[in-house]
Each structure stands twice: as structure tokens, then as C-alpha cells.
Structure 1
């Protein structure tokens, strides 16, 4: 393992699946990554969990840069991490139209390109793809179909900006640990075990290892 840079300041942006809703340990996968960096890699890393429940890419686009710049210090290496999409794909509940997305695919794609493009010019950027919701009812199946489409759009966008992208959609749709954790949660948010699983997948990802200096 390379000694790499220490003292990273890592800003994790997204929605409730970043924030850690229904996580018994609190803090979601960002907290788990920070803990492992300290305990296993002996890295004094500052993790900022900047997830907001129910936020779409419209809200994220308006706030992320201001919040990131408040936390970025030139003396320390900075990393920006993003994970979003489930709320864009969710139903417009206040209109009672299950067939209508909260944010259209075209708008979600444009928002993602604006966010990731600007972030990648500001600091090293990592993009964690959206996780599947529970594979169950017609309503959740419809959301997963939308997420599959958004995931492909996001993957191509990441390639265009040369930003590392961790594709989690197919994995979490079929992963027994994730799906069981969703059943113990509310179908959209897992219990503790689900956040453990996502943190494991990120920790094992080469994009993460390279960004924090855990591999040559």
C-alpha cells in the first residue's frame, strides 16, 4: 500500500442514501469510509456528509459548489464525491401521477453534466451511481426501470468528463444483501447492513483507492 497523500477533505454530496436515512449507526457510507481510512489506513481524513433527504439534481445543482468551497482548503488534498438519481426517478407524489418522474431524463442528464463537469474542474471527483430500490411492487419496478436509464446516461456523462464512475445499479438490483436490507428498511432506504454493503463496494473500487492513495 502506498503512503500517498494524507489529510484528505472529502465532500460527499447527494440525497438520503448519502445522508444515511434508516442507518442505525448514522452517517451512511461516508461515515464508514472515513472510519476505515482512520482505522485501517491510518489516514486522518475529514469526511463531510452533505446528503439532503428527498433532494433531486435540481436542488443539488443549486448548492453543491458553495458548500464545497466552504470546506476546501489549499493545504489539504480535496475530493468531491457525488451520488444521486433516485429522487429524480421517483414519482411526482404531490400530483398523484405515478408515471411522471420528479425530474425528466433530459433535465437530469443536463443537471448531472453541469454538476460533474464543474466539479471535475474544481477538484478530483468521484461519482457513485444510483442504487436500485426494492425489487418488488409495480411502483418500485417502474422506478428501477427509470434508474436503469438514468444510470446509462450518467455512465456516458462520466466517461465524457473522464470522471471515475462506480456503476452500482445492476449490482444492487440483484444483490441479496442489499435487497434484504431494503426489505428491513422502507424499500428505498436500507437498514445498517445496506450502508455497510455500499461502503464495501466503494472501498474495493479502484477509483476510490486511486483517489485516496491506497494503491499505486
Structure 2
């Protein structure tokens, strides 16, 4: 495989760029490095990350989003919100078996 022409990134608020007021997050920083145009050849990076995203929400949308953008490379950053819990430790937002299943399907 040669150099990708279109990359889709799927993830949560960290991938989306929350709290990075300097450069807009790691995906945007990646874009600064790889999207430099050289004549007609360049790489498009589509940040499809959503604050609050989980493996389930990524699984539900990544195929359609990647297809719509003609992505030939995918990057996933997911699991942080899945491991978060509501008020009581162990009361995870996404139960471990559902996280495991969604991760395998991605």
C-alpha cells in the first residue's frame, strides 16, 4: 500500500481536540504534518471524532462516514469514555462485554 490519500479518524473528545487551545488536538497536529501540499498530491484528514464517543457510537457510524469520504486509511481512538463510570465505581457507561464486542466488530 502506498501513501494514503484520505484518512478518517474516529474517537472521543481527546481525538476531537477538546482542551488543546494551541493547535486543536492531536488529529489537527497530525494534519499539520501530513497535509502539506506537494503539487497535486496531498493527504486529506477527516476528523470524525465526537465528544462523548464510545466504541458503540464509533461502530454505528464509521463505515458510512469512511465510505462517504473515500477513506483508504482509518485511525481509531476509543475506549476512554467506555471505561468512565457513573457515580459508583464499577458502574461503567459501557459494560466490559459490550466494549469487547464493539471493539472486535470495529
Q: Which residue of 2 aligns with 1:123?
A: none
Structure 2: 5+ residue stretches without partners: none
The alignment covers a number of residue pairs equal to 104
CA contact (8 A) 2:8 2:75 kept: yes
Taking structure 1 as the reference length, what is the TM-score of the superposition? Answer: 0.44
Q: Which residue of 2 aligns with 1:214?
A: none
1:32-181 correspondence runs (5 A): 32-39=29-36, 42=38, 44-72=42-70, 78-92=72-86, 96-115=87-106
Shift of residue 29 of structure 1?
1.2
CA contact (8 A) 1:19 1:28 kept: yes
Separation in structure 1 between the aligned mates of residue 63 and residue 24 of structure 2, nearest angstrom? 21
Separation in structure 2 between the aligned mates of residue 38 and residue 29 of structure 1, nearest angstrom? 14
CA contact (8 A) 2:35 2:44 kept: no
Taking structure 2 as the reference length, what is the TM-score of the superposition? Answer: 0.85
Greater RCO (CA < 8 Å, at least 6 residues apart): 2
Shift of residue 109 of structure 1?
0.9
Shift of residue 67 of structure 1?
0.8
More helix by share: 1
* Structure of greater Rg: 1
CA RMSD of aligned residues (A): 2.2
Q: Which residue of 2 aligns with 1:180?
A: none
